[in-house]
Structure 1
Amino acid sequence: MHQQRPRKTFAFVSSGTPDAEQAAVQLAKAYGQRSIPDADVIVALGGDGFLLQVLRETMGTGKQVYGMNRGTVGFLMNEFRADGLEERILSADAETIRPLEMEAVRADGTTAQALAINEVSLFRQSYQAAKIRITIDGQVRLDELTCDGVIVATPAGSTAYNLSAQGPIIPLDAPLLALTPVCPFRPRRWRGALLSNRSAVRFDVLEQPKRPVNAVADHTEIKSVTSVTVRESATLTATLLFDAGHSWDERIIAEQFRY
C-alpha cells in the first residue's frame, strides 16, 4: 500500500482589502486555518508590497511563503485560484531570498538598522540635488554623484523601482546586486554598476545640511542621513514559492521581451 502524503497546513494572511479579505475567508473555509507558527505554508493574499511585508515578518523562520494576487501589483505573486491549492504548493518552485541589511547614520549621530528585500534607496529631501560619495568594499569608486537618488537592488527587487530607474533586471539566482542612480546629473553618463552580492556599499552624503537625504529600506524610511552602509545578509533568508511553469526565471525572461 502507498503511504498517504501528509497534507499541508496553511496560514492565510490578507492585506486587508475587500478582495483579499474575501479570498482569505474562502480559502480558510476550504483548507483550514492555522496560526503562522503552526502552518507549513503562509499564503499571502494581496499585492507585492504586502508579500514583502510578510517575508520580512517571517524572515529567518524557515516558513515558506506563497503569494496569490489580490492587489494592484503582482509581479512576485501567483495567480489567484481557490481550487487545487495543495497540488500547486506541492509542485511549486522554491526560491531562496536574502535581504539587504541597511545601517544608516542620522545627522544627529544616532543609527538605525532595517532590512530590505527589494532595495535600499537614498533620495534628496529638498529641491537641492543630492551629492553622494560611493565606496565599495572600502575603496571609493565615485567621489561625487550629483543626483535625485541612488538605489541598491537585490535580484528580487531588480524588476521594481530599480527597473523604473533604468536599472538592469537580474535573475533571482544570480549572485549580484544592482547599483542604479536616479536622475544622475553629474557624472551625466554614469548609469550604474553590477556588484557582487558579497560587496559592502557605503554612501556618504556630501554637503548634508544644504542637501539633506533620506534613506529607505523597502518601506522603512530614515530621515536626514549622513551615511548609509548596505550589504546582503549572511544569515537571514526567506523562501518564496512560485507556481510550476511560472517561475521567477520565466518571469524575468518574459519581462525582458516586453515592448
Structure 2
Amino acid sequence: MRLALVASDGPRAQEARHALADAHDWVAPEEAEALVVLGGDGYMLHVLHGMLDNDRVIPAFGVNHGTVGFLMNKPRSSRHLIERIEKAKPISITPLKMTAVTNAGTEHSFHAINEVSLLRETRQTAKLEVRVNDKLRMPELSCDGVLVATPAGSTAYNLSAHGPILPLDSKLLALTPISPFRPRRWRGAILPEKSRVTFTVLQPDKRPVAAVADQKEVRDISEVRVAVAHDRKLTLLFDRASSLDERIFAEQFQV
C-alpha cells in the first residue's frame, strides 16, 4: 500500500513523525492510496478539508498526538502501525455544504465535517427565519446562534449546546439552537439527512450574523443554505476495537 505521512506542527506530532520516518517507504500525499495523520482532531479536520478542496479524497488513519483525539486512533508502537492500517475498519462520513450569502450579495460555499453554525456578531441577539425543504418552520428564532450538525459532529459543538448525539449510521442531522431566547423552550429538531435547511437573517444591519463551516467563517450574512454533500464522502480508518461509530454510541452513556 502506498502511504503518505503528515503531521501537525505540535512537538508531540513532530516527534512521532521522526520516529516513523523509517517505518515505511512513504510517498508524497498526491501519490498515496491512504494517509497517516499525526496530530489532534483540529489537524485531522484541516487535512480532510484539504482533500475536499483539492477534489482528491483518500482514506485517512489518524494517530492522536493532540488533546481529545475523537477522530483519531490511540498512539502505539510504531512497529505495528502498518499492520493496524491493513486491519483498520473504514468509516464513511458525509460532510455538509454551506452556501452563505452576504449582505452585499456575495456568495461563499464551504464544506463542514462537524457542523455549520450561525453566530451573532455583536451584543444584539440574532433573529433568524428557519425553513426546512423550503417550508417555513420558524418565522422568528431569537438566539445567540443555531447550528446544523452531522452525526460525526454531533458530539462536538452540538453536544456542548445541548443537542442530541446522533449514531453514525442514523442518516440524520441535528438542528440545535444556541442559547435560544424566543421561543425559550425550543430545544431544536432532528432532521432526515436529505433535508435542506435555509436560515434568513432578520434585521441584518442591526443584528449582524456570521456563518461558520467548521473553521471557515463568513461575516455579515443575509442567508445561509445547508445540505448534505453526498458527492463528497470521506473515509476514516479506525482500529476495530475503538471505531468512530462505537465512540459516538458510547458518548450517550457518559455522565
Global fold match (TM > 0.5): yes
The separation in 2 between residues aligned to 1:174 and 1:27, in whole angstroms, is 37
Equivalent residue in structure 2 for 1:61, among 49, 53, 56: 56
What is the correspondence of 1:57-206 to structure 2 with a 5 Å cutoff?
A: 57-59=50-52, 60-81=55-76, 82-206=78-202
Q: Where in structure 1 do 4 or more consecutive aligned residues deviate above 6 Å?
A: none
- Structure 2 residue aligned with 1:214: 210
CA contact (8 A) 1:88 1:244 kept: no
RMSD: 1.0
Shift of 1:28: 2.3
Equivalent of 1:50, from 24, 43, 47?
Answer: 43
State the alpha-carbon separation in 2 of the partners of residues 205 and 221 from structure 1.
16
The CA distance in 2 between the partners of 1:11 and 1:113, in whole Å, is: 29
Q: Identity rate of aligned residues, in percent?
A: 51
Deviation at 1:24, TM superposition (A): 1.2
d(CA) in 2 for partners of 1:253, 1:217: 24
Q: Partners of 1:107 and 1:58 in 2: how far apart?
A: 30
SS at match of 1:146: strand
- Check if 1:248 corresponds to 2:244: yes
* TM-score normalised per structure 2: 0.96
Unaligned runs of 5+ in 2: none
CA distance in 2, matches of 1:200, 1:125: 24
Aligned position for 1:23: 16
2:69 partner letter:
G
1:111-142 Cα deviation digits (max 9, x unpaired): 11111000000000000000001000010101
TM-score of the pair, normalised by structure 1: 0.95
Between Structure 1 and Structure 2, how many residues are aligned?
252
For 1:9, the equivalent position in structure 2 comes to 2
Cα deviation code 1:218-246 (max 9, x no counterpart): 00000000000000012111100111111
Q: Which amino acid aligns with 1:10?
A: L
